[in-house]
């Protein structure tokens, strides 16, 4: 697997996940007092930019990884982006469950990427 492709895919998926996380959860913090349809429209607007990055990232990643590897990479990135977002933006407290989930994801990475 070319390292440049893996790094580029990872960076692009990381950036797209920032948009995705903001679209999925940002309205809970910043638009909680607005009607739901406003939250939907704002979230769709943010998600548009997520897709502009995510689709090319997945196409690039698919040139070097199989679909299972690409999906596990996406999930690891999602958890890696969500945990700091939950703490810094939503005010959540990280507990052991986050650590256990991370360990499970590392196991998934090992099994999906091993030869």
3-state DSSP of 60-104 = HHCCCCCHHHHHHHHHHHHHHHHHHHHHHCCCCCCCHHHHHHHHH
Determine contact, residues 66/6, Cβ cutoff 8 Å. Answer: no
Determine contact, residues 63/5, Cβ cutoff 8 Å. Answer: yes
- Counting every residue written for the chain, the total comes to 115
Average pLDDT of the chain, as a whole number? 94
What pLDDT does 98 receive?
Answer: 85
| Percent of the chain at pLDDT exceeding 90 | 89
Q: What is the pLDDT of residues 50-99, one digit of tens each?
A: 999 999 999 999 999 999 999 999 999 999 999 999 999 999 998 998 88
Quote the CA–CA distance of 58 and 17 in Å, as a whole number. 12
Whether the model clears a pTM of 0.85, i.e. scores above it, the answer is yes
Q: Does residue 115 carry a pLDDT above 90?
A: no
């Amino acid at each position: 697997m070319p390292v440049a492709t893996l790094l580029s895919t990872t960076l692009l998926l990381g950036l797209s996940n920032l948009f995705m996380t903001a679209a999925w959860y940002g309205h809970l913090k910043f638009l909680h007092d607005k009607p739901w349809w406003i939250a939907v429209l704002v979230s769709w607007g943010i998600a548009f930019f997520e897709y502009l990055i995510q689709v090319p990232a997945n196409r690039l990643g698919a040139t070097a990884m199989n679909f299972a590897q690409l999906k596990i990479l996406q999930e690891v990135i999602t958890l890696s982006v969500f945990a700091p977002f939950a703490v810094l933006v939503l005010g959540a407290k990280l507990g052991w469950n986050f650590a256990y989930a991370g360990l499970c994801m590392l196991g998934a990475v090992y099994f999906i990427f091993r030869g």
